[in-house]
Structure 1
Amino acid sequence: MISDDSELHTAIRSELTKVVRRQKSCRTGEERAILDATLLQSHCPLLLSSFHETLRLVGAATSVRSVVEPATLASAATNTSFALQSPAVIQLPSGITHTNPAIWGSDANVFNPARFLPSTKAALDKDTKRKQAQGYFPFGGGKHLCPGRHFATTEILSFVGAIILGFDVSGSRVPERAFQKLGTAVRKPKGDVDISMKRRRGWENVKWSFSVEGRGGEEEVKNLVVGGEELGDE
């Protein structure tokens, strides 16, 4: 979805320059691009927002809960209530709330990369903020909230960041999503997605490394050890 929008792609690429620095090996002269994964969420808000918006549209996990004793769920906003009997199993499909116009507005089925930006959320009224906070749960919730969500987020953002900054991708288009089968956690594309990838000009011979040092792309670093090899400034 990012590579399909040239303006968005350019903006995110600009963000990524703040968290990536290029250095040459003191021993071999080999050039590396070092992406600081600890800074992605604080320095790349548009990339992070695009990530959450993608999860909102393709995330399809279903949370399952067992009713162990009779209970009543009530909504003051709609003046409705539901009586739950035991034993019973309740399923909460995230795909329904993730694309509900009553929660996300008339563009609920449209990819909006700015939807999760702090400035966008700050402009929402209190009720809408509450609805969106409750209606977005790609990693589950409660005591079953995915413990690996931060690792997964950092891993995905790092990989996508390296692709955007170091490669040119052409022929991409937003694929049609396949019919969602029961138990599917992420909606898959309908058929293969054909793209052409090549190293970006000026980045042809760069090797990628990932750090967690919190230095960023503008910090002057005299020496850095990556994979047992000392790197220095260009």
Structure 2
Amino acid sequence: MTFTNGTIPFSDAWSGYLAHAQAQIGPVNTRLLLLLLVNVPILAILLNVVRQVLLPSKPNEPPVVFHWFPFVGSAVGYGNDPLNFFFKCREKYGDVFTFILFGRRVTVTLGSKGNNFVLGGKSLVFNAEDAYTHLTTPVFGKDVVYDVPNDVFMEQKKFVKVGLSTDNLRAYVGMIEEEVEEYFKSDAAFSVLQSNDINEWGQFDVLTALQGITILTASRTLQGQEVRAGMDKTFAELYNDLDGGFTPLNFLFPSLPLDSYRRRDVAQKKMSDFYVNIIRQRKNGTTTDHEHDMIAALMQQSYRDGRTLKDHEIAHIMIALLMAGQHTSSATGSWALLHIAERPDIGEALYQEQVKYFANPDGSLRSMTYEEIRQLPLMDSVIRETLRMHPPIHSIMRYVRDDMPIPATLAAPGKDTTYVVPKGHYVLASPVVSQMDPRIWKEADKWEPSRWSDPTGVAAQASMTYDDAQGEKIDYGFGAVSKGTESPYQPFGAGKHRCIGEQFAYLQLGTIIATILRHMEIKIEKVPEHNYHTMITLPKTPRAISYRRRKFD
């Protein structure tokens, strides 16, 4: 197999290097160099194994997952299938263990108590900024999210929450519905919807479609009319280049001299300027009629010290909302449609739910309202069950700023053992483990929305501690929210970093799915596997859904 380094075949380059080396240092030394190149890595692996097998581990630190390769550690097993990796480690080491991830020492605490330990921990000790700023700041921009102290970030979340008012959400339903229908008309993959033959079937790649729909609906609603009007080829190229800087590679190695990193930085500057120009035009009175979007809300906010947001801060918050929201909603929407397509009974029940609530006398379906979308029980169950099995983020990390003891009840239940996570380590919570734990959920690996309609089941109890008034509510600076850190169901995170866009996400997903299903029937033979090689957990290819136009469309 021949690889390339971008200019010449790698095999040719290697041969040329050896020839040059042999000419410079002679054949004997060349053989010695080759022996070193081959044997040094082998020796390093052997020493790493011997160290783990023969040397005693520190009794006050969690057990370290066995790994063959120094520095790389368990990166391959974790990166390919983190859920399987966590469950296997739990069988061997318990709910608390440490693994090596490209030189980082990551201590994992599993289960509801483990989630609470990490997500309910003090931000001065378990710090999110130190864990993520090298990934998010180059994409979102300076002075927002993890590029500011935690108390400032909490104020920024409060500003965003103001923009997610009930009045704004009410205004968004019709906009989302219109954007979905316009997408059907403009995208060739949905040409069958224009056919007179209701028995004709077509296909569409569900992730491609949902990525397009979610970014258009978000830009029409939260982002504002100027952003929606600017959704041309140039904007799409900027978005793709910026998105190229939001990958596991960028998280692990933030400063590589690669072209994708350069394109990311150029795109961030251009997109920031794009938003700043919109803000300045609004301040000058050049544009009007933007009452319900997020830019308008942010322009009216002030920090506790009286300072208003600077133009670039508003711009960078808008970029963060666009990037984070598009990824999570398009992934969740894709998984939901894939499961619905595999379960025709659920798809038909969802359609009949709309007929029940929205039918006109002629058999057509009228437009929905915000309150009505929230009152569709099966739709709510479908979204919740999809988020249970496919939360967008499988791992949540914090950087440890000071030594932190792990309670014995978590580290070694029933034993008088207290581990300490040393300063400089990372801690990791994985809510998906508790959401897929067969010890908690009946048929945990089965997509079954009906579990959410059982008032006495695990799902109802989990929802109660995560969402409802019976859960502990705390105000972290952006309004009281259910703490939810001990719930086995945490699709939007928990604690002070819990996502404040939950209501918009449910509204956006519910409206998109409802609009799609009122226009078409969908089917697929099998739901694809997870692709864990991206920052957000996506379905692998092939992920084409077959569809046909509904009879009454």
TM-score range, shorter chain: 0.5 to 0.7
Determine if contact 1:74/1:82 at 8 Å carries over to the other structure. Answer: yes
3-state SS in 2 of match to 1:168: strand
Determine if contact 1:66/1:88 at 8 Å carries over to the other structure. Answer: yes
The corresponding residue for 2:384 is: 52
The corresponding residue for 1:180 is: 532
Determine if contact 2:451/2:457 at 8 Å carries over to the other structure. Answer: no
Instruction: Choose the corresponding residue for 1:79, options 395, 399, 414.
Output: 414
3-state SS in 2 of match to 1:65: strand
String of CA shifts for 1:183-220, please: whole Å, max 9, x gaps.
Answer: 6322x2221322332321121xxxxxxxxxxxxxxxxx
CA RMSD of aligned residues (A): 3.2
Opposite residue 96 of structure 1, the aligned amino acid is V
- Quick one: distance in 2 between partners of 1:127 and 1:14? 28
Mapping for residues 98-117 of structure 1, pairs under 5 Å? 98-105=435-442, 107-117=443-453
- Quick one: distance in 1 between partners of 2:459 and 2:544? 41
- Quick one: distance in 1 between partners of 2:461 and 2:502? 26
Determine if contact 1:169/1:195 at 8 Å carries over to the other structure. Answer: yes
Normalised TM-score (structure 1): 0.67
The corresponding residue for 1:40 is: 373
- Quick one: distance in 2 between partners of 1:126 and 1:49? 11
The corresponding residue for 2:347 is: 9
3-state SS in 2 of match to 1:160: helix
3-state SS in 1 of match to 2:487: helix
Opposite residue 414 of structure 2, the aligned amino acid is N
Instruction: Choose the corresponding residue for 2:456, options 112, 122, 133.
Output: 122
Query: Displacement, 1:33?
Result: 3.2
- Quick one: distance in 1 between partners of 2:368 and 2:458? 33
Query: Displacement, 1:157?
Result: 0.9
* Structure exhibiting the larger radius of gyration computed from Cα positions: 2
- Quick one: distance in 1 between partners of 2:424 and 2:445? 35
String of CA shifts for 1:45-98, please: whole Å, max 9, x gaps.
Answer: 122111111111122512122333333333648436543232332122233222
Label 1:83 to 1:104 Cα distance change in 2 as closer, same or farther (>3 A): farther
Determine if contact 1:53/1:112 at 8 Å carries over to the other structure. Answer: yes
Counterpart check, 1:134 vs 2:472: no
Determine if contact 2:522/2:546 at 8 Å carries over to the other structure. Answer: yes
Query: Displacement, 1:145?
Result: 0.7
Query: Displacement, 1:111?
Result: 0.9
Query: Displacement, 1:151?
Result: 0.5
Instruction: Choose the corresponding residue for 1:152, options 505, 509, 513.
Output: 505
Label 1:178 to 1:147 Cα distance change in 2 as closer, same or farther (>3 A): same
- Quick one: distance in 2 between partners of 1:125 and 1:33? 32
Residues matched between the structures, number: 190
Residue identity (%): 19
Query: Displacement, 1:160?
Result: 0.5
Unaligned runs of 5+ in 1: 25-30, 204-234
Mapping for residues 200-215 of structure 1, pairs under 5 Å? 200-203=550-553
Label 1:60 to 1:79 Cα distance change in 2 as closer, same or farther (>3 A): farther
3-state SS in 2 of match to 1:165: helix
Unaligned runs of 5+ in 2: 1-338, 467-483
RCO higher in 1 or 2 (8 Å CA, sep ≥ 6)? Answer: 1
3-state SS in 1 of match to 2:367: strand
Determine if contact 1:21/1:35 at 8 Å carries over to the other structure. Answer: no
Query: Displacement, 1:178?
Result: 3.4
Normalised TM-score (structure 2): 0.31
